[in-house]
Amino acid sequence: MGKLRRFFGKSGIKSVSLVLVLSFMVVIAGCSGDAGDKDTAEKPVLVMADVSWDSIKVHNRIAAFIIEHGYGYPGPEYQFCETLPALQGLSHGDIDIYMEVWTDNILDAWDKVLDDGTVKNLGSNFPDAPQGWYVPTYMIEGDSERGIEPMTPDLKSVSDLPQYWELFKDPEVPTKGRLHNSIPGWKCTEINEYKHKAYGLDDTYNLFSTGSDAALSASMAAAYEKGEPWLGYYWEPTWVMGKLDMTLLEEPEYDDTLWNEEAGYACAYPSAKVFIGINSELENTAPELVEFLDKYNTTLEHNNGFLAYMMEAEADEEEAALYFLKEYPDVWSSWVPEDVVEKVEAALNEVK
């Protein structure tokens, strides 16, 4: 009590009592206030899986902006983790939302959590993601604006590559063309080695590793800027595919019987399935958000576009999310009710 006397000065205990009474009245008034404020305060802080690649981080921020400003939830937490631990966290309830579940590499684990009912699949985030061997489109079609004539007008398929090997000449192995492989340690890198032999390209092409994703994309971008030939493995969605016009070479249609080491993986890559997953309990705690996420759907063009924006503008994932929301209002507004659209638009108008 001595501390109270010193703080309030000569007015003493009576002043303290008055303050306590007034404070109690404020608390009571707050408790009997607007029901919407109370509802907002009781809404849980959701946890989203922030896995290591950029596109999922942007999708998290797109969804989070709508969840926070459109539905009145607190800003979510982002849990950094890798693919399989993220799925395990989703199953255990430590994570609520997983915006990009690339199921091909974790298919058994994915099927298990769906079967035991702990995780619900809300469908595709974007269409099946392609991967394979690409060349710049100007090599096939030319580019009149850049003064580039078609170099390989008849190049459509991997089976056409032997006749063009000299255009892709490897400076380190000048008797062969250069085919840029993917990153050491990745499964697709090993698969490309099998394909290389199965397609009979080991006589005319050298498989070349740049050593990292950054170096691989940089080699593509550098050749593109100069209007030079380039051939190599890549995938979508990525910033480089949003920025550059590349053509995926045809392969024999995907066939389960060919997709193994014995057959040399001598067919097209299966398109990667990318789903939105939630912890099933979210259907009980936030059914309106489940309805929103169930409608959430983008295209490869959207993804390549905001990833290219990130690179060109040196933007982070939050800035890229705002770019998407401002660039594609017709897309995201189809996911949510009109009252949510109005709230999100109002919040966007406040963002510079």
The full DSSP string for 151-170 is S-TT--BGGGGGGGGGGGB-
In this predicted structure, what is the pLDDT of residue 278?
96
Residue 26 has pLDDT above 80, yes or no: no
Q: Give dist(CA 83, CA 102) in Å, integer.
A: 8
Residue 218: C-alpha distances to residues 243, 276, 304 (Å): 12, 30, 16
Domain tally, the chain: 3
In this prediction, what percent of the chain has a pLDDT beyond 90? 72
Q: Per DSSP, what are the bridge partners of residue 50?
A: 80
Residue 56 has pLDDT above 80, yes or no: yes
The string of pLDDT tens digits covering residues 284-339 is 999 999 999 999 999 999 999 999 999 889 999 999 999 999 999 999 999 999 99
Do 138 and 105 share a structural domain? Answer: no
Tell me which of 9 and 157 has the higher pLDDT.
157
CATH number assigned to the domain comprising residue 153: 3.40.190.100
Q: What number of other Cβ atoms are within 10 A of residue 231's Cβ? A: 26
Residue 177 has pLDDT above 80, yes or no: yes
In this predicted structure, what is the pLDDT of residue 206?
96
Do 45 and 9 share a structural domain? Answer: no
**What is the crossing angle of helices 338-349 and 54-71, to 10°?**
110
Residue 258 CB-half CA count within 13 A: 15
Closest residue by Cα to residue 181 from 213, 204, 221, 158: 213
Mean pLDDT of 254-266: 95
Q: Are 50 and 90 in contact (CB under 8 A)?
A: no
In this predicted structure, what is the pLDDT of residue 39?
52
Q: Are 125 and 298 in contact (CB under 8 A)?
A: yes
Instruction: Tell me the residue range of the domain where 321 lies.
Output: 37-125+272-349
Mean pLDDT of 9-38: 38
Do 177 and 112 share a structural domain? Answer: no
In this predicted structure, what is the pLDDT of residue 54?
87
